Amino acid sequence: MALSTAPPAAPAPPRVLSVTDGSAAARAGIVPGDEILAIDGAVPRDVLEYQRLVDEADVVVSLRRGGIEIDLEVPKREGELFGVEVHAALFDQVRTCDNHCEFCFIYQLPPGMRKSLYLKDDDYRLSFLYGNFTTLTRFTEADLERVITEGLSPLHVSIHSADHAARNDLLRNRRGGPSLRWLRALLDHHIEVHGQIVVCPGLNDADELDHTLAELLDQYAELATVCVVPLGISKYNKEPRMREHTSAEAAQVVDIVAFWQDAFLAHTGRRVVHAADEYYLLAGRPFPSPEVYEGFAMHEDGVGMAQTFALEFRGDTHGTTGTRAGFFDWVDGAPAEGYRSPRQPAAPAGSVVLRPRRNAPVAILTGPLGAAVLEPLVASLGRTDVRVLTVANEFFGGNTGVTGLMVGADVARVLAAEPHGHRYLLPDVCLTHGVFLDGIAPADLPRVVEVLPTDGHALRAALKECP
């Protein structure tokens, strides 16, 4: 049978979503809906190349508008804001994942969700833009050259095990172990890399975790951070080897991480490795002191979130780390420039929402893990008008307890049994482009909710509005 010689599909052109008033693009006449075919004759593959091209002075943009192709000269200074928001981060195909990890949460999704949520990516560009973790099993010499040349740093790498055979098994990919050579190459070229180990009980915990952290110190000590996180299991998991941690196993992980923190600190001056907050909650252990987290560099991966939130809530810190939209933050409406942008769009002009009075009793909606953090903070206020309202995750089931995976159906179920007239505070971490993962919008809930940024400052300010 003859092999197909059809050329690869051309990149879909970036579509203009909005144009900033007074910008170079606006002055040149670019409008929403235009498709950008080329910039100075070059066809960008992704928003990284696009941004590099439009940063140049006096660019010529080839557009398609209403089926007609036109060229527009855009006079501008080098580095001046171009002023166009495009529809996506990648214009060519997303590099999909060819691993078959038993713990992959994509395999554990219920049917009937948005199609884009089922796409498994292993794309280093999304790692740079959105903090997605890549296994590097599809990384190439050309990718390495681009990362180095364009300074695409930091990157985020899923490690799971430093033993080649064990990593092959965990990824169910014979390239799993050998692909760690790219991790070494990235570090050799001074690319900042944050690593992740998803711990699966009975597979890469206990002695295997101990061995992996020893190898990381010996072979990859330049890693910026390494987060050790428990696997998430939904009720749709069909892998017989996957199970939840016991409290004793969680305590063992905490102890192993503490040992290797001391070892890294002694050899590198940094603790490097950190356990996710879930481990301390499951083990019934207190969280480490704030200084142990060394600036909360892995806050976005569930490491130090509890301590950060507590500091903000108590007013002990003036800054805020912010929170990503969660596991699916790069799909369906994610900003093309990356995840560090507001997640909740403003209410449409002219919309009117009748809200409860400001001195009404307050309920803070959160997942089971968030409740374990919030309840002692709320109790410390000594107020009887504020309570934590835990939303059990029946949509995903299993051990899903993070607030970022709360869905509208579960929130609606809980709110339906709650009284009218109370203030219900909803953290925006569970929303992507203004809707829950199941497509329900806050406006569709049976009670009015107030969407707040997911940080202690915002909650503290919202509660101060009450007497």
Q: Are strands 225-230 and 273-275 parallel, antiparallel or unpaired?
A: parallel
User: Do 151 and 202 fall within a single domain?
Assistant: yes
Report the range of poorest mean pLDDT among 118-132, 326-340, 379-393: 326-340
Judge if 386 and 290 occupy the same domain. no
Give 199-224 pLDDT, tens digit per residue: 999 999 999 999 999 999 999 999 99
More confident residue, 356 or 201: 201
* CATH classification of the domain holding 37: 2.30.42.10
Tell whether 78 and 215 lie within a shared domain: no
The 3-state DSSP composition of the chain as helix, strand, coil percent (nearest 5) reads 35, 15, 50
Q: Are residues 409 and 289 in the same domain?
A: no
Burial of 466 (0-12, 13-18, 19+ CB in 10 A): middle
Last residue of one domain, picked from the residues 256, 284, 303? 303
Q: Strand order of the sheet with strand 449-452? A: 386-390, 362-366, 423-427, 449-452
Instruction: Say yes or no: 136 and 281 in one domain.
Output: yes
Same domain, 420 and 370: yes
How high is the pLDDT of residue 156? 96
Whole-number average pLDDT of the chain: 89
Same domain, 65 and 126: no
Q: How far is CA 90 from CA 15, 37, 124, 187, 339, in A?
A: 11, 14, 11, 25, 14
194 with 68, same domain? no
**94 assigned to some structural domain:** no
Give the pLDDT score at 245: 96
Instruction: Describe the strand order of the beta sheet including 35-39 as a list of residue ranges.
Output: 35-39, 59-65, 68-74
Q: Quick one: 161 and 74 in the same domain?
A: no
Q: What pLDDT is attached to residue 117?
A: 80
- Domain assignment present for residue 11? The answer is no
Three-state DSSP class for residue 161: coil
Q: Considering the domain boundaries, does residue 244 fall inside one?
A: yes
Distance CA 184, CA 191 (A): 10
**133 and 226 assigned to the same domain:** yes
The mean pLDDT value for 251-257 works out to 98
Angstrom distances, CA of residue 255 to CA of 153, 191, 225, 294, 426:
31, 30, 18, 18, 34
Same domain, 143 and 211: yes
| Domain identity same for 81 and 127 | no
Confidence tier at 11 by pLDDT (50, 70, 90): low
Burial class (CB in 10 A: 0-12, 13-18, 19+), 257: buried
Per the structure block, which two tokens stand in for 389?
A: 């309202």
Predicted local confidence at residue 321, as pLDDT: 55
* 448 located within any domain: yes
Residue 320 lies in a domain: no
Residue 352 lies in a domain: no
Is 90 exceeded by the pLDDT of residue 141? yes
> How many structural domains does the chain have?
3
Q: Is residue 348 part of a domain?
A: no
Range of the domain at 62: 16-86
- The rounded distance, in Å, linking the Cα atoms of 229 and 227 is 6
Cβ contact 46:91 at 8 Å: yes
Assigned domain for 276 exists = yes
Pick from 52, 86, 120: which residue ends a domain?
86
Cα-trace Rg, the chain: 24
Token pair recorded at residue 387? 């309570």
Residue 343 has pLDDT above 50, yes or no: no
